[in-house]
Amino acid sequence: MSIEVVDFGSFGLGKAEPSAIEMARLSTEIVRAFSDLGFVYLKNTGIEDQKVFDVIDICKKFFILPSDIKHRYARSVDSEILNHGWVAAEMESLNPTQPGDLKEAFNVSTLSSLAKWPSINEFRECIESFFKACEQLSVRILKVIALGLGLEIDFFINKHKKMDSNQNLTTLRLLYYPSIHKYSVKGHQVRCGEHSDYGTFTLLFQDKSGGLEVMHKSGQYVAAPHFPNAVLLNIGDLLQRWTSDRLISTVHRVLLPQSDDKMCGSRQSLAFFVHPDNDVIVTCYDGSQKYPPTNSLQYLKEHFRSTYKL
């Protein structure tokens, strides 16, 4: 049981759209992998490890700041930018039955001038550049998935036109799992509780620490470590509903390292959560009505209420 690796080099960033034969091959491979596990590694996407590690390095400059400084940039439910800003450790419970997750995050949900950014040299420029690269890659992936499902190539693109604006909650999460003494960990507390992602799909870039696990349909968890120069791509709940369960949104988690060490080292990752535009109504593409129509924005807000125990 392992996660399939698909070479995306023919349609990576900077490449022209490949031939119809190559697009068919690519879409078939990716949709098959999603139908089995809901996760796939894409290599040669045009976003290389060095770019990822540069972003991770500048993110850490923020996360190691004192909490009172980070709090100036805290995510607020009252903000006109719904999902932008810092989230402190233990504020989220991705599995609401467990104590708060042992991670921090800085969410970037818009590139508009309304957003507040830390006063760290080149922080905003670096993060915005990475956001745009992820957005461009996501558009290509949306095309490939549509083709793999036998739909028009722009079926999903037309419902994700407003990424990086206030009309779409696609979010880049800069994630930091700080070092922690094991004696301070509460019962059943983990770094990231068991959950499936909420939206269309997610691009995940990890450091080399490992720790992510994905639930196979057998019920066993499969390790999903860092894979050189690759992004880990997984289906979200809305795309599972859209495709009447043809594509699967898979539960995953990040546990604390299993060792006798009393101290766990830090870990970082970057997750780009792709969501439909806020006004999109998600309906089963095959007309089956297996799931009732749902508004993209309201669906996400309901999950936020659970995650943050509002």
Determine what percent of the chain is predicted with pLDDT higher than 70: 98
User: Within its chain, how far is the Cα of 68 from the centroid?
Assistant: 27
Q: Which range in 24-38, 60-74, 293-307 is most confidently predicted, on average pLDDT? A: 60-74
Query: Domain range holding 250?
Result: 5-307
pLDDT in tens, 2-28: 899 999 999 999 999 999 999 999 999
Sign of CA dihedral 27, 33, 39, 43: negative
pLDDT at 309: 65
pLDDT at 240: 96
pLDDT in tens, 154-167: 999 999 999 989 89
pLDDT class of 114 with cuts at 50, 70, 90: confident
Global confidence as pTM: 0.96
Counted domains in the chain: 1
pLDDT in tens, 210-235: 889 999 988 899 999 999 999 999 99
What CATH code is carried by the domain that includes residue 161? 2.60.120.330
Side chain identity at 291, as an amino acid letter?
Y
Residue 246 to residue 248: CA distance in whole angstroms:
6
